[in-house]
A and B are shown apart, each in its own frame.
Chain A
Amino acid sequence: AQTVTQSQPEMSVQEAETVTLSCTYDTSENNYYLFWYKQPPSRQMILVIRQEAYKQQNATENRFSVNFQKAAKSFSLKISDSQLGDTAMYFCAFMKPYSGNTPLVFGKGTRLSVIA
């Protein structure tokens, strides 16, 4: 079974600074998908960024980027120019190769606080 580990329960960062959230996972699959979801206090889960394992290039979405190390099974999220609105729980998630109804496997989350 796949597992996802987020070793940082809580982190804080000053506004405008950069922060990196770590995530490791365990799988025997070669192709898979990785995601970072944001859950603000409103509790809505919002997709931040995704990475396909067969792509070597790290995904980027504006201020958000990932460092995907397939051999190390590591998938960290970097948030640049942190904003107060980035304050949220961040969940790393894994999905097996596409079969249409494959569920997401989540880590325990990292609570990020952006401080003014």
Chain B
Amino acid sequence: EPEVTQTPSHQVTQMGQEVILRCVPISNHLYFYWYRQILGQKVEFLVSFYNNEISEKSEIFDDQFSVERPDGSNFTLKIRSTKLEDSAMYFCASRNRGGTGDNEQFFGPGTRLTVL
């Protein structure tokens, strides 16, 4: 069964460093998302992406964040200069073409980011 994959599973970085989190969505999906979950808290939406551009973003997704789909398969989230409060689990999700019966977002296993 197709699944969303994410690498790495765990990333440790120093404050101020740049990190890139990678996701491979399900191959025929068109809509892509990043969410984050700070330990013990709820899952929060960061950004959605469609047709090679950002569709919607939350207040969390400031200028330190960027997303890219560089090669038609990978979907990356870059944090330019990490802060301690960026430590969280980051989930990638993808969704098919959409429609009233096709609204499930499939999630990857997540990348745990630890900023020291």
Contacts from A to B (Cβ < 8 Å):
33, 35, 37, 42-47, 50, 52, 91, 95, 98, 100-109
Contacts and interface: CB of A to CB of B under 8 A. Distances in A.
The interface size bin for chain B is 20 to 34
Given A44-B110, A98-B100, A109 B45 contact: no
A91 B42 contact: yes
Contact of A106 (B33, B43, B110): B43
Interface SS, A side? loop
B41 A108 contact: yes
B48 A103 contact: yes
6 contacts: A42-B109, A43-B109, A45-B110, A47-B104, A95-B103, A108-B42
Contact of B33 (A46, A91, A103): A103
Interface of B: 30-31, 33, 35, 41-45, 48-50, 55-56, 58, 89, 91, 93, 98-100, 103-110, 112
A47 B1 CA distance: 15
A38 B106 CA distance: 12
Contacts of A35: 104
Contacts of B41: 108
A24 B35 CA distance: 21
Contacts of A103: 33, 35, 45, 48, 56, 58
A25 to B, nearest CB: 13
Contacts of B105: 47, 104
